[in-house]
């Protein structure tokens, strides 16, 4: 069904945010965007801002600060900062405990009282310091009960468990694809929004993923990170190395085998 002929409304957490798809006939109330002329059929019924994709509009929105989240669970966790009684006098953020407020204030002061004795890296929070220390000690106290993998953080274990359960809590409302990790979901959303936040500082190209930018930079630096172990030729891309090995060395190997059988 063509987007311009489809009208839908979606309400979110606490009923604070809803979005409507406007038809071509509604173009008279189109919000101006000076930087492009692409159609923006999604209209937020709360703030009247328009979007090219329903993803930005449909994501749950905090009624206190306006921040949007990729899932309702993320929004629920975020709401805790508005409900705490310990309030920061500098930015207004609320914390759930006095210790939480003490740690938060360090983000303003820059204080990092916890220093690693191995690499001298410093941390604002003691729990971040403890997790970091496991890098040097190799401690991974969170084992997977299904396979033999272990993890240094409980959050990493929780994400890993989705490999076994098949859980994919991050669902795209535009194409119905689902993802097990929030990072993969956020990258996918850029397919619909057209967002390319990783810009090359040497030319005008931009990319959806940082890894794509890193590969692109080899065009400017001349770096060839993938080296053939058989003939010492180097390549910018792993796919080029694989093609080289398949087309050049596999052929030579077959010829040698034929000579040996003669």
The verdict on domain 196-253 having CATH code 3.30.160.60 is yes
Chain centre to alpha carbon of residue 90: 29
Q: Where are the domains of the chain?
A: 3-78, 196-253
The CB-side HSE value for 164 (13 A sphere, CA atoms) comes to 11
Phi and psi at residue 238, to the nearest 5°: -65, -35
3-state secondary structure of 221: helix
In which element (H, E) is residue 40 found? Answer: none
Residue 63 CB coordination number (10 Å): 16
For the segment 62-96, what is each residue's pLDDT rounded down to a tens digit?
887 878 776 777 787 777 777 767 888 888 777 87
pTM, two decimals, is 0.42
Strand ranges, E, within the chain = 9-11, 18-21, 42-44, 50-51, 86-87, 94-95, 114-115, 122-123, 142-143, 150-151, 170-171, 178-179, 198-199, 206-207, 226-227, 234-235
3-state secondary structure of 6: coil
* Torsion over CA: 31, 34, 37, 38 (sign): negative
Q: What is the pLDDT along the chain (262 residues), one digit of tens a residue?
A: 333 333 333 333 333 444 444 444 444 444 444 445 556 655 655 555 665 555 455 567 788 787 877 677 778 777 777 776 788 888 877 787 888 889 989 989 989 999 988 888 899 988 888 888 888 878 888 899 999 898 888 888 899 999 999 999 989 988 989 999 888 898 999 999 999 989 999 999 999 988 889 888 888 988 888 888 888 888 887 888 888 888 888 766 555 555 555 5
User: For residues 165 and 145, what is the distance between their CA atoms, to the nearest angstrom?
Assistant: 12
């Amino acid at each position: 069904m063509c987007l311009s002929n489809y009208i839908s409304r979606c309400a979110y957490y606490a009923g604070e945010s809803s979005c409507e798809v406007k038809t071509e006939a509604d173009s008279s109330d189109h919000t101006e965007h000076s930087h492009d002329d692409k159609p923006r059929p999604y209209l937020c019924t709360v703030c009247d801002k328009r979007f090219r994709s329903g993803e930005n509009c449909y994501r749950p929105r905090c009624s206190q600060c306006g921040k949007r989240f990729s899932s309702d669970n993320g929004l629920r966790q975020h709401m805790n900062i508005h409900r705490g009684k310990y309030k920061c006098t500098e930015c207004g953020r609320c914390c759930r405990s006095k210790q939480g407020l003490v740690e938060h204030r360090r983000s303003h002061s820059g204080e990092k009282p916890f220093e690693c004795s191995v690499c001298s890296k410093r941390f604002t929070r003691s729990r971040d310091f403890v997790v970091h220390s496991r890098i040097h000690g190799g401690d991974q106290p969170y084992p997977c009960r299904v396979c033999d993998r272990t993890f240094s953080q409980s959050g990493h274990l929780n994400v890993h468990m989705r490999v076994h359960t098949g859980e994919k809590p991050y669902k795209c409302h535009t194409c119905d694809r689902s993802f097990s990790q929030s990072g993969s979901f956020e990258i996918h959303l850029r397919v619909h929004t057209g967002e390319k936040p990783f810009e090359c500082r040497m030319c005008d190209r931009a990319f959806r993923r940082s890894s794509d930018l890193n590969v692109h930079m080899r065009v400017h630096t001349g770096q060839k990170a993938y080296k053939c172990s058989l003939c010492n030729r180097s390549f910018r891309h792993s796919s080029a190395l694989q093609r080289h090995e398949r087309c050049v060395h596999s052929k030579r190997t077959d010829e040698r085998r034929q000579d040996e059988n003669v």
